[in-house]
Structure formats: C-alpha cells, structure tokens
Amino acid sequence: MNSNEISQKQIVFITIFFLLGNSLSKGYNYYMGASSYFLNLICIPIALLFAAVLFKILKTFPQKNIFQIFDICLGKRLSQIITLVFTVISVFLASESLFNGAGFVKASMLPKSPFWFIVLLSAVFCAYVSCHKNSIVGRFAVTSVPVLLLLIFISLLLATKSYDFSNLKISGISLENASMGVFHGVCSPYGELFFLSVLFSRYDGSHKGFKACFLGIAAAGIILSLIYLRNLLLLSEYVLTRTPFSSNLAMSVTNAGEYLRRFEVILSSAYVVLDLFKASCFVLFALRGISHLFENKRPSRYFLPISAATYLLTVLMSIFQKEFSDFFALKSLFLSPLVLIFPIVLLLLSKRKKS
C-alpha cells in the first residue's frame, strides 16, 4: 500500500472517534453544564487525531484545496452542495465568534461604548485580516499561539498579586465560562478545527499552519487542565473544611485553588484574540467557498459584491444575535450532519486511490 493511501481501517477509526467526540460535546453542552471540563479534556486527543487525518488528506492531493478535493471525490454537483453548506455554516460561526469577541471587548475594555460600534470595529478587523492578503492569516495564526503561551507565562508571574475579577461579566457570563472560549476556539469537535486547518488548504511542504493548530490545541489543553484542577481543589476544600483535624491541609488546598483561579482570569484575556481570529478564519473560508462556486463564471466579478454581502450578513447576525438566539441554536442542527460527510469523503478518497 502506498504511504499516502488512506486505508479502510483509518476511515473506521476516525469515524468512531469523531462521532464519539461530537456526542461527548453534545452531552457537555446540553446536559452536563459549564462545570464538566473533563469531557472537553477527552475531546482534545480527538481534535488532534482529526487534524492529523486532515493533514494526510491534503498531503495525498498536493496543490489541491479542500473544495477541489470535494470535486474530485464527490463529483461537481454534490461537491457544490457540500461547499454551499460549509459556506453557510462558516458565516454563522463567524457571526457567533464576532459577537462573543465584541462582547468581551465591551465588558473588559470599552464598557461605555455602544455595542454596535464595537461589532462594526471587530468586523473591520476581521475583514482586514481575511481579505488583505492570505499570508496575513497564516502569520496571524502562527503568531497567536506564542502570544497565548506568553500570556500563560505572564499569568504565572502575576498570579501572586492580589486582585479579584470574579464579578466581571462578559456578555452575561462569568470569566470562568468565558475562558472556555479558549478551548472551543481551538479544538471544538463541532468542526471548528476543520475550518481553521483548511485555511492552509494547499499542501506545499509547509507545516506552519498545522503546527499552529497543534500548538493551539496543546495550549488549550493546558488551560483546561488548570481550570479542571482548580475545580477539584475547590471540591477538596469543601470536603476538608468539614473534616476534623485537617485545617492545615484545607488551608493549603485553598491557597492552591486561589492561585489557579488568578491564573485562569489572566488566561481569559486571550479570549478576544482567539474569537476575532476565528471569525476572520470563518469569513475567509466562506469567501473561498463562494469563489469556488463561481469559478466557472469569472469569480473576480462576483468576489467583491459577495464579500460585502457576506460581511454585512455576518455583522447583522452579530448585532441581532440575542433576538435570534433560537435561530442560532439551529447551528448544531447544521453541524451534526457534517460529522457524516467527513468519513464519506475519506471512503471515496480511499476507493479512488485504490482504483
């Protein structure tokens, strides 16, 4: 078997684990609540596996992006349908990320500014990153991970300081919940990692984009592990304070939990950077999909007006997200069938390679 060939066992393996990751994520979101960090920790190796298989697919078809691979494996008509679905979903995800990032900016940086102005400012930032030059997105991806790791280092230095941001709210949620955006922005098994990785969609021997994704997943794992450890320490503190002859141990656990809580608050400052970058990635992916759909009709003629319409839709959906919260809940209904598309593509790839 050729080293680049995708085997049936790999297809079954990635299908089972990806479906498992999606199921765990749904269980976390709908039943377990925001305190169930353990399920997200399980999803990290699944995201790593997903990125590795995606990398192998792109390497199997050098100089082909994901939309061209869909054309090769699925045929023109089915490929256009799937490309359109991915494009619509990416606009929804861009809108959600833009809204969350703008909410963080308003709560922590510009509390007196009108929210619509912050959303428009964030949209301009996303437009610049995603449309100015494709290389900017790649450089931003590679740069954002060291920045996140630098924030972790700064957090360690400042964790001994006395401060308390526990009352700060970000779009109605606490900082503890907001810090989960660091994880979901990097390796959510709903498919966000797929969109981020696909930005580096032509395999040309450069691994920078995929290295950034892997480093981001590792950084998110560190953050999530610390949050989970802090919750365990808080639980231990609760138990120990009600146990006789353990006051010293309880005090040590309390101090450790407080140290990690301060650490977590600093890490939350990376939330806005990751969310706005994620929104930029989704918009760029949508524009690439639209350009691919119109490639036989002189896409340069349609690219600018469709780009403007995409940004306008993204901004409007961001501004009115609260009013359309039920509509936004349909995102999970859109994304759920996509877990079946990826294994099907793998299966067709395998058959094409063997024939």
Q: What is the mean pLDDT of each run of 10 residues along the chain (355 residues)?
A: 42 43 43 45 56 67 74 76 72 70 66 68 63 48 47 43 39 40 40 48 52 54 57 60 59 63 55 65 71 60 55 57 46 43 51 54
SS3 state at 315: helix
Which residue, 111, 150, 163, 109, is CA-closest to 276?
A: 109
Length of the chain: 355
Rounded to whole angstroms, the Cα distance separating 276 from 266 reads: 18
Is there a domain that residue 2 lies in?
Answer: no
DSSP run (H or E) holding 242: none
Judge if pTM exceeds 0.85: no
Query: Can you give the residue range of the structural domain that contains 286?
Result: 8-354
Is there a domain that residue 111 lies in?
Answer: yes
SS3 state at 230: helix
> How many domains does the chain contain in total?
1
Query: pLDDT value at position 61?
Result: 74
Instruction: Kindly state the DSSP code that residue 75 receives in the 8-state scheme.
Output: -
Query: pLDDT value at position 81?
Result: 75
Which residue, 92, 34, 23, is CA-closest to 327?
A: 92
Is there a domain that residue 240 lies in?
Answer: yes
Is there a domain that residue 163 lies in?
Answer: yes
- Judging by beta carbons within 10 Å of its beta carbon (0-12, 13-18, 19+), is residue 72 exposed, middle or buried? middle
Is there a domain that residue 3 lies in?
Answer: no
Cβ atoms of 197 and 209 closer than 8 Å? yes
Write the DSSP assignment of 117-167 as a string of letters: HHHHHHHHHHHHHHHS-HHHHHHHHHHHHHHHHHHHHHHHHHTTS----TT
Rounded to whole angstroms, the Cα distance separating 214 from 219 reads: 9
Rounded to whole angstroms, the Cα distance separating 10 from 4 reads: 12
Query: pLDDT value at position 272?
Result: 62
Rounded to whole angstroms, the Cα distance separating 291 from 285 reads: 10
Query: pLDDT value at position 87?
Result: 73
- List of long-range contacts for 17-24, beta carbons under 8 Å, 24+ apart: 17/46, 17/49, 17/50, 18/46, 18/49, 18/50, 18/189, 18/339, 18/342, 18/343, 19/339, 20/46, 21/46, 21/47, 21/50, 21/189, 22/189, 22/190, 22/336, 22/339, 24/189
Is there a domain that residue 85 lies in?
Answer: yes
Is there a domain that residue 123 lies in?
Answer: yes
Q: What letter represents residue 179's amino acid?
A: S
Query: pLDDT value at position 337?
Result: 43
Is there a domain that residue 269 lies in?
Answer: yes
Bridge partners, 49 (sequence order): none
Distances in Å between the alpha carbon of 288 and those of 134, 151, 233, 278? 11, 32, 46, 15
- Judging by beta carbons within 10 Å of its beta carbon (0-12, 13-18, 19+), is residue 252 exposed, middle or buried? middle
Bridge partners, 174 (sequence order): 169
Distances in Å between the alpha carbon of 173 and those of 156, 165, 195, 230, 295? 24, 13, 26, 19, 43
Evaluate the CA torsion angle 125, 213, 94, 194 in order and state its sign.
Answer: positive
Bridge partners, 170 (sequence order): 173
